[in-house]
Amino acid sequence: MSPLLGLLLAASVDGQAALRHASALAALGPHPWGSPRNQAAAAYVAAQFREAGLDAVELAPFERHAVQGTNVIATLREPGEDFVVVAAHHDTAPEAPGAYDDGGGVGILIELARVLAQEGRRPRTIVFVSFDGEESWSTGKGTTAGSRAYIERLGPRARSLVAAFAIEMSGWKRGNPVLHPIAYADPHEKGRAVIAPAWLVRAALAGSREAGAALGVGDPWLSWLYQPAVRTFRVRLYGDDLSFLQAGHSALHASDSSFSAFYPDYHEPSDTADKLDPAALERMGRAALGVVRSLERVPRGSAREPHWFAAFGRVVSAPWLLVLGAASLLPGLWRGFRAGGPALGVRVVQALLAGLLLWRHPVPALWILLVPQLLLPLRRAWWTMLLSLLPALALVALGVSASWRGFVNGVWLAPWEMAVGFVALALAFLGFGGRGGRAPRKPKAPRKGRGR
């Protein structure tokens, strides 16, 4: 190999190398948390981190729910306090060899370590962690045990954590790399959710785009619907970002499975290395490298920026969502003021209810109310009514089908909030006084022969 070729290979993620790591892990057979094969998996990852040239490689044992686990932690250390965690998990579901979940993710993680270790000084310390016990539900006790143990062990050092980025379920040929900002239960406030903050999603999108491997948000086809959906329905899927978000840190995971294309061998004995594709691993690897490069230089943001909407690779944050929501109320109120009387009353009540829902759940509220509030005051026809109903219908349809596929188990909105949303939507469809909400037509003048 020429020195130049060697340098070029070092600078980018090698899909074949990631596939070799995933294959080596899957060849162990199913290796769930606490099993002897799982120890072999941890040892393999540690050996690969050392080979990649990382400074400090550590097997970090922990015990939770009377099960022994081992996280593998390796560091590229820089002088500052701040650090970024990049992660995957080496344990599997009880019956699955886990080539895809999460052998592919670990393969990419090792490749990232190799590429970044060969570069010079970095803006921030990067900690590579292969977690154990991500699938700890299989013991029937808790979730994401390894990442929870890691955060506990950090203690006060956790304050210097900028963000955690986990690579999940990657390397499927038919997959599409996307970020998965899923809302998880807030352990401190019943009924509330935590989700990846706006700044982190923005930084991850920008980083992957700069790396020439732009990530989508949630789903390659249904991204706009995915975003209100995860804030409306309780999604049952998660990654190790769950532990970080629930502990009050900024975190996010990426995968190339999504609602519209979900890996068919998920958690099955058939999750074997022949299902993986080196080009798909390389695609996710390039995107992940871009995300890490972005996270090591982006200014730190707050973990509490839950309300945002991503479109066209950009992220709109909460203040603009509220401005948009308030502006969408104006056409209806204007029509109400012109009509006066009961029509005005209806418009004011509708605006108050919409405003309340917008304040509590901006993204789902905008999703169901923006189109009817903008469109119906201007034109009431069968097609504007249909268009105005479509977003709400699509949201309900996605929720029902996701629930049928076992991805969803409940809703985030309280019953009274759903009632407010329903009434606000129904009132948006009520007339504006006069016929059909349109200025009455002037009767046509009778034709007077030719000419004018």
Residue ranges binding Zn ion (CB under 5 A): 101-102, 168
Cβ proximity to Zn ion: between 102 and 296 the closer is 102
Cβ proximity to Zn ion: between 253 and 361 the closer is 253
Q: Is residue 102 reached through a cis peptide bond, with omega within 30 degrees of 0 on the bond before it?
A: yes
Cβ-based neighbour number of residue 156 at 10 Å: 6
Q: Is 120 helix (H, G, I), strand (E, B) or coil?
A: coil
Cβ proximity to Zn ion: between 130 and 328 the closer is 130
The helices-and-strands tally (H runs, E runs) of the chain is 14, 14
Token couple for 88: 């995957």
| Distance separating alpha carbons of residues 334 and 416, to the nearest angstrom | 28
Closest distance to Zn ion from the beta carbon of 92 (Å)? 8
> Any alpha helices (H) in 184-254, and if so which ranges?
198-210, 223-232, 241-246
Closest distance to Zn ion from the beta carbon of 283 (Å)? 18
| Distance separating alpha carbons of residues 448 and 452, to the nearest angstrom | 7
Locus of tokens 């129904």: 426
DSSP 8-state secondary structure symbol assigned to residue 103: I
Those residues whose C-beta lies under 8 Å from the C-beta of residue 382, and which sit 6 or more positions away, are: none
Is 118 in contact with 10 (CB distance < 8 Å)?
Answer: yes
Closest distance to Zn ion from the beta carbon of 240 (Å)? 8
Cβ proximity to Zn ion: between 101 and 296 the closer is 101
Closest distance to Zn ion from the beta carbon of 45 (Å)? 15
Closest distance to Zn ion from the beta carbon of 21 (Å)? 15
Token couple for 234: 């309780």
Radius of gyration of the chain (CA): 26
Question: Where is 161: in which H helix or E strand?
Answer: strand 161-167
Task: Enumerate the β-bridge partners of residue 252.
Answer: 165
Cβ proximity to Zn ion: between 76 and 230 the closer is 230
Cβ proximity to Zn ion: between 22 and 368 the closer is 22
Closest distance to Zn ion from the beta carbon of 171 (Å)? 12
Cβ proximity to Zn ion: between 102 and 219 the closer is 102
Closest distance to Zn ion from the beta carbon of 248 (Å)? 23
Closest distance to Zn ion from the beta carbon of 169 (Å)? 6
DSSP 8-state secondary structure symbol assigned to residue 79: S
Cβ-based neighbour number of residue 437 at 10 Å: 20
Closest distance to Zn ion from the beta carbon of 230 (Å)? 18
Cβ proximity to Zn ion: between 90 and 122 the closer is 90
Per-residue CA distances from 172 to 256, 278, 414 (Å): 7, 9, 37
Locus of tokens 């050392």: 50
Cβ proximity to Zn ion: between 101 and 256 the closer is 101
Closest distance to Zn ion from the beta carbon of 102 (Å)? 4
Q: Is 60 helix (H, G, I), strand (E, B) or coil?
A: strand
For the chain, the straight-line distance linking the first and the last C-alpha, in angstroms and rounded, comes to 87
User: Among 166, 134, 167, 169, which Cα is nearest to 257's?
Assistant: 169
Cβ-based neighbour number of residue 436 at 10 Å: 11
Closest distance to Zn ion from the beta carbon of 253 (Å)? 9
Q: Is 59 helix (H, G, I), strand (E, B) or coil?
A: strand
Cβ proximity to Zn ion: between 170 and 176 the closer is 170
Cβ proximity to Zn ion: between 101 and 277 the closer is 101
